[in-house]
Chains A and B, each alone.
Chain A
Amino acid sequence: DAKTTQPPSMDCAEGRAANLPCNHSTISGNEYVYWYRQIHSQGPQYIIHGLKNNETNEMASLIITEDRKSSTLILPHATLRDTAVYYCIVRVGERMNTGNQFYFGTGTSLTVIP
């Protein structure tokens, strides 16, 4: 699975959009981009994933560049509850024999400031 690079920390003002970047320059054509977040000491929580098209759900939007070498997770209106560590992971989607072996790096620690 491709490695990812994320900034170690970011701040965002409450109510503003939080844009979290991720570089994955060695991504392969069949690898998906996944985002999870971990609030304080809780278990990670799935946010969104995509292959090459931009994706949006009730939590966030995922923008993937045309060459797929980088992506951005967007939290449109950040709240204090969005303060967490955000993990960007790339991996092959279909792995019936091995399940979802996600390899988590150290992520980006997002602090939403009042």
Chain B
Amino acid sequence: NAGVTQTPKFRILKIGQSMTLQCTQDMNHNYMYWYRQDPGMGLKLIYYSVGAGITDKGEVPNGYNVSRSTTEDFPLRLELAAPSQTSVYFCASSYSTHTGELFFGEGSRLTVL
């Protein structure tokens, strides 16, 4: 199993550009999440999904969109990139709500200039 795979690992964007961060998991997990982590800070939840076709907002959803057309994939779309979106983005998945074990990807480091 590859676990949770994120691409790209690094990206530089210009202000106003758009891009999609890809996330895929091969563990057949129903639940998937996107977090962002700013330097020296904890992780903040952007969006989450409890299954294919179902998504909902987390703490900091503004400026982002998600979709969940399959169990495996949960892409995060940045529209009109802003310097405030410079961050490291982590995708995670989980099978069971009870055990609480989130499996994280390696992260995608995004810089907006």
| A contact residues vs B (CB 8 Å cutoff) | 32, 34, 36, 41-46, 49, 87, 91, 93-107
Asked if residues A43 and B106 are in contact (CB atoms below 8 Å), the reply is yes
- 10 nearest interchain CB pairs? A43-B104, A99-B31, A104-B42, A104-B43, A46-B101, A105-B42, A49-B100, A106-B42, A100-B94, A95-B97
Asked if residues A100 and B97 are in contact (CB atoms below 8 Å), the reply is yes
Interfacial chain B residues near A34, Cβ < 8 Å: 100
Asked if residues B97 and A42 are in contact (CB atoms below 8 Å), the reply is no
Asked if residues A32 and B100 are in contact (CB atoms below 8 Å), the reply is yes
CA distance A42 to B105 in the complex (A): 8
User: What does DSSP make chain B's interface, helix, strand, loop or mixed?
Assistant: strand
Residue total for B at the interface (Cβ-Cβ under 8 A):
33
In the complex with contacts A93-B97, A96-B97, A43-B105 CB distance below 8 A:
yes
Interfacial chain B residues near A102, Cβ < 8 Å: 43, 45, 100, 102
CB distance from B111 to the nearest CB of A (A): 14
